[in-house]
Amino acid sequence: MKLALIVLIPFIGALVPPLAMKAGRNVCTAATAAVTALALVILLSEIPGVYSGDVARTGVAWLPQLGLSFSFFVDGLGLFFAALILTIGLLIILYARFYLDRTDSLGRFFCYLLLFQGSMVGIVLSDNILLLVVFWELTSLSSFLLIGYWYHLPASRAGALMALVVTGAGGLALMGGMLLLGHIAGSFELSEILTRGETVKASPLYLPALLLILLGAFTKSAQFPFHFWLPHAMAAPTPVSAYLHSATMVKAGIFLLARLWPVLSGTQEWFLIVSMTGLVTMVIAAWIALFKDDLKALLAFSTVSHLGLLTMLLGFGTRIAVVAAVFHVLNHATFKAALFMSAGIVDHEAGTRDIRRLGGLYYLMPITSGLAIIAAASMAGVPLLNGFLSKEMMLEEASHTVYAGQAWLFPLFATIGALLSAAYSARLIFRVFLGPKRSDYPLHPHDPPFGMWLPVALLIIPVIAIGVMPATFAGLVVEQTARAAAGGALPDYHLALWHGLTPALAMSALALVGGLMLLWAYPAANRVRLAVPRPEAMTMFKSSVAGIVRTSRAILSDIDNGRLPRYLGVIIGSIGVLALVGFLGANPAPVAGDRATLPATLPAVTGWLVLLLACGLIIQRHYDRLTALIITSIVGLVVSLAFLQFSAPDLALTQISVEVVTTILLLLAINLLPRTTPDEIPLRAKLGAGGLAMLVGIGVAALAYAVMTRSFETISGYHIEQSKPGGGGTNVVNVILVDFRGYDTFGEIIVLAVAALTIFALLDSAMHGAAGRRLARVRFDQQAHDPHPLMLTVVARILLPLSLMVGVYILLRGHNMPGGGFIAGLIVAIAFLMQYMASGYVWAHRRARFDAHVMIGGGVMIAGATGMASLLFDRPFLTSTFDYFHLPIFGEVELASAMAFDIGVFFTVVGTCLLSLATLSRVEERAEEASRRAEARV
């Protein structure tokens, strides 16, 4: 339970900042920090158990049928990343308090920050890979909110959209890869999958799963060619950049590679793809970073380069490379977060991030400059700082790596990447903080308040401490984390300042010296850069998005043209094509099965011929609304006779009731419309639609015939056997609807209620403006008065109480005999419909004593309350129960909880019909008002 709390606390705590903001910025900051600190304290309490070799797990089933569970576990890797996320999160909260202006909504910012924090912690602690994907997508959504926090700026909106599109698309690929991985491993629990690496790698689905998972990881961690989104996300406030894009979000892809390393690594495909992608990203991003004049852009591309370094290490596939990767994750998070916050301080105090307008800040901002110089030196790989140690371990591993038979490839380009890193770090130091003071700063630079540089100073402490005594301050953390990532014991290694005269030391020295020389030759290098074609990522992205939008609109303009026949044609045609592809791709068996067909009796043949004739007449007379409606009701009657033929009285009774209700409602509606439908469909379209209908009809008929002539087991036998002992009723159909499949029925009445309310709302808007005037004019032109025959009126009022009694009777007996809430609701609806037909819309509506909205809502609530009541007895939702009682005079009586559910269905159905009548009544009332106004004018 504690592990779930670590994840849930930031999500729940996201509600705190907007409320606490009313008490002031300091209270809001303290409350937000308390939320993160609470989650961190609970996490740190797991350290003794994890470092002693235990793996804490917790979880509950969520959707077990899909393999999705709300489960978490914490080992060395999850503990390391979660602690990194929460610790740096605390520093960012303090920094943001002083960085953001008073005009910025601090409460909203902290709310978004905690949502992102919870999503990231959820990723690193998830034990279920589907749950991990859920949190993965939540990071994309919450980071979209953070990047676009300054939504009034076009750059922020563009950067947020780009990040969402790229990482969201990668998330979809990751989802597919995780589904394949779970299928291969036979489990979606990560702790189980980690023990089945050989099974996964031996599967023929390994390569598709690997490619999809890597696509998700590469997009999230901005690997080439998806590196372009990260720098544009720097339009966000600096606290966002420092948190998301140096220590947390972009590390999600690295975490995923490390987490699945025991399962996916060790193959040629892993090595070739992952290591080369990392190497290319490291070198290209470092080259771009060298020439960026915006401080945050330089740091953004340097982040991409270091992410490439981490990816390359994990791609090597050796356990010592995993150690180096874990060590560099720790080091990079410290010096890069410090650098981003320092860049924010410079921008905040000097008024610009443009390197060309800066210089000499060491004399004006000594504290900030000193801290930033140390962090930049660590990024360059200067000895006695933590960045030097992990960089040297990377170069050592690269020096032993042979790629495609070429032993020089990785050592050379890894050294070039390190050289470029030293060059852009030196440029940052010398061009921003050293050199002579200037007289044209936009603002007068000075050190910020204590609260802004304190988080930077706290991050610099491990930069120096680990650099001087790595084994003391990082040895245990790196060992425990790397062991969990590698999935077993590690080779002998030691973290130390001096490993002797090694190739890595020479490569490191060459990188530092070469970086300084490259900075000295910067003008020449810049001329080379300018001479090479440079595609602009934002332009390419916008062009791609615009092209997709144009293509989508072109397709939609042909499909979504506002005509129902086109929609039906596309839907039915797609179904037919899919069915045909499935049929051709299988081994076709004879259409006829082994079951003998029933003899064709004269009544059955007659009904079939009537059905064919009615369908043909509908096609021929479809433009005459009244005729088409009458013929359609004949089709429904024949179908109900077929139900009776096959001993399905419930279905027959339902079909007849539905036909009566819909026919009367449509008759009332037609009374407000023109008698005929204008023929707007050309002959060619009719022939095409007719051909499609015939093909699909033949296919469906063949499918139905094939199914009905084959022997197979269905669940019907279970329902018949368990109807009485399990549901307490002898009417199998009703027991299925309100007991065995009550959840389906509950969903259906909700859909029915939503549909009724939506139609009511749409027609309510249609009654106003031009549409309302047109309806009133049509009604007035057709019939100025509503004749109500006296005989019909009298009979309808006499039948009302009788119909209500019959409806109640059908409702009460439905559990054991044909009937139930749905049929009873239709019968009662028919009684009310007759009143509207006999006495007129307005007369009947004004005398209605029931609010249709209340009946619909009440029916759904009664059905839902029936389901919730079962939870009080520790039973699943909508679990029904029944018992028998002996009452005087009545004898033995059965009482079933499903009766209450059926009553809810009854009220929903009646309310839906009454709401339809209310809508028609309002249209008629407006027509009568228009008629009276016209007569008054005459």
Q: Model confidence over 240-271: pLDDT tens digits?
A: 888 877 667 788 899 999 999 999 998 999 99
Tokens of 657: 């009731």
Residue 9, pLDDT above cutoff 80? yes
Tokens (6 digits) for 700? 């469906």
Mean pLDDT of the chain, nearest integer: 84
pLDDT by residue (tens digit) across 703-735? 888 888 887 777 888 888 888 888 788 888 888
Average pLDDT score over residue span 768-786: 53
Query: Residue 872: pLDDT band by 50, 70, 90 thresholds?
Result: confident
pLDDT in tens, 553-600: 887 777 777 677 777 788 888 888 887 777 766 666 666 677 788 888
pLDDT at 657: 85
DSSP string, 792-824: HHHHHHHHHHHHHHHHHHHHHHTTTSS--HHHH
Q: Which residues of 909-924 are buried (b: 16+ CB within 10 A; e: fewer)?
A: bbbbbbbbbbbbbbbb
Helices (H), 381-469: 386-399, 409-428, 450-468
Identity of residue 256: L
**Measured between alpha carbons, how far is 283 from 279 in angstroms, rounded to an integer?**
6
Judge whether residue 72 has pLDDT over 60: yes
In this prediction, residue 440 carries a pLDDT of: 82
Handedness of CA 346, 349, 354, 357 (dihedral sign): negative
pLDDT for res 839: 76
**What local confidence, expressed as pLDDT, does residue 277 receive?**
93
For residue 754, the one-letter residue type is V
Query: Of 189-198, 459-468, 814-823, which range is least confident?
Result: 814-823
- In this prediction, residues 657-681 reach a mean pLDDT of 75
pLDDT at 815 over 60: yes
Dig out the tokens for 787 from the structure: 């004749």
Answer whether 816's CB lies under 8 Å from 882's CB.
Answer: no
Rounded to an integer, the average pLDDT of 411-429 is 92
Above pLDDT 90, what percent of the chain? 25
Strands 68-74, 56-63: parallel, antiparallel or unpaired by DSSP?
A: antiparallel
Rounded to whole angstroms, the Cα distance separating 48 from 61 reads 28
What does the pLDDT read at residue 186? 87
Section 901-916 average pLDDT: 87
The H or E element spanning position 780 is helix 769-782
Q: What is the mean pLDDT of residues 468-477?
A: 88
Q: What average pLDDT does the segment 472-489 reach?
A: 88
More confidently predicted of 292 and 891: 292
* Dist CA 29 CA 106 (whole Å): 8
Contact 281, 311 (CB under 8 A): yes
CB-based burial of residue 741 (10 Å sphere; 0-12 exposed, 13-18 middle, 19+ buried)? Answer: middle
Q: Quick one: tokens of 134?
A: 């859920």
* pLDDT at residue 618 tops 90: no
What is the pLDDT averaged over residues 97-108? 86
Mean pLDDT of 352-380: 90
Of 416-420, 451-455, 691-695, the one with minimum mean pLDDT is 691-695
Q: Please give the backbone phi and psi of residue 493, each rounded to the nearest 5 degrees, phi first.
A: -160, 165
Q: What angle do CA 480, 485, 489 make, to 5 degrees?
A: 65
DSSP class of residue 730? Answer: S
Higher pLDDT, 588 or 108: 108
Looking at this protein, which amino acid is placed at residue 574?
A: S
Q: Which of 535-549, 764-778, 843-857 has the lowest mean pLDDT?
A: 764-778
Tell whether pTM > 0.85: no
Max Cα-Cα span within the chain: 113
Which residue would you say has higher pLDDT here, 613 or 620?
Answer: 613
pLDDT tier for residue 780 given thresholds of 50, 70 and 90: very low
**Rounded to whole angstroms, how far apart are CA atoms 469 and 476?**
12
Which pLDDT score, from 0 to 100, does residue 784 have?
43
Q: What is the pLDDT of residue 379?
A: 92
The pLDDT value recorded for residue 783 is: 45
pLDDT interval class at 935 (50, 70, 90): low
Candidate from 495-504, 532-541, 595-604, 784-793 with smallest mean pLDDT: 784-793
Q: Are 226 and 218 in contact (CB under 8 A)?
A: yes
